[in-house]
Structure formats: structure tokens, C-alpha cells
Amino acid sequence: MKKLLDSFLTFFKSSDEESFYYVKMERNEKCYCGSGKKYKSCHYPDHQKKSKLAVRKIDEITGEEEIKIMSIKKLRKEHSLVKSSVH
């Protein structure tokens, strides 16, 4: 049992090292909110007003995606993590 717990903790530890990247949401993509509308005619104008942008945060190991609304300022700072979308 102890051994199992140890490996569990190690697992958590290693997942702490963040290895992920961002992919910007394209304006012509369907909006992440599930409205069925394109991003540009759904949440995009609102994000523009607030200088924000929707990005997918993608885990490099598991490939899991998470939608994040990030400020453009922060995105610029983390530009090395931003990969352009593969369309």
C-alpha cells in the first residue's frame, strides 16, 4: 500500500512540471462555448473589447485540451508557448 501511495505522489510531482502549449482559437472556428456559432460572431467581439483571446491549452503529454481566455498581454509574454493552429 505504501509503495502504491509513493508512486501516486511521484505521478503528481512529475505532472507538476508543466509541459503544455497554447493554440489560438481561429476566428472561423466554432466557438468553444458550444453555441454552434463561429468564434468571430460569438465571443470574439467581447474578447476583443477586453483585449482577450480564447486559446486552447494543450497538454503535450496527454493531449488534453483546456479552453482558456487569456489577455493578449499575457499571451505575448508567453509567446514561446503559443503555437499556431494546424489548419
CB 58 within 8 A of CB 23: yes
- Tell me if 10 contacts Zn ion by CB under 5 A: no
Interface region with Zn ion, contact rule CB under 5 A, candidates 5-13, 15-23, 24-32, 49-57: 24-32
Considering the complex, what minimum distance in angstroms separates the CB of residue 56 from Zn ion? 14
Binding string, residues 28-47; x marks residues near Zn ion by CB under 5 A: ---x-x-x------xx----
Buried-state track 49-73, b at ≥16 Cβ within 10 A, e below 16: eeebbbbbbbeeeeeeeeebebeee
Binding site for Zn ion (CB under 5 A): 31, 33, 35, 42-43
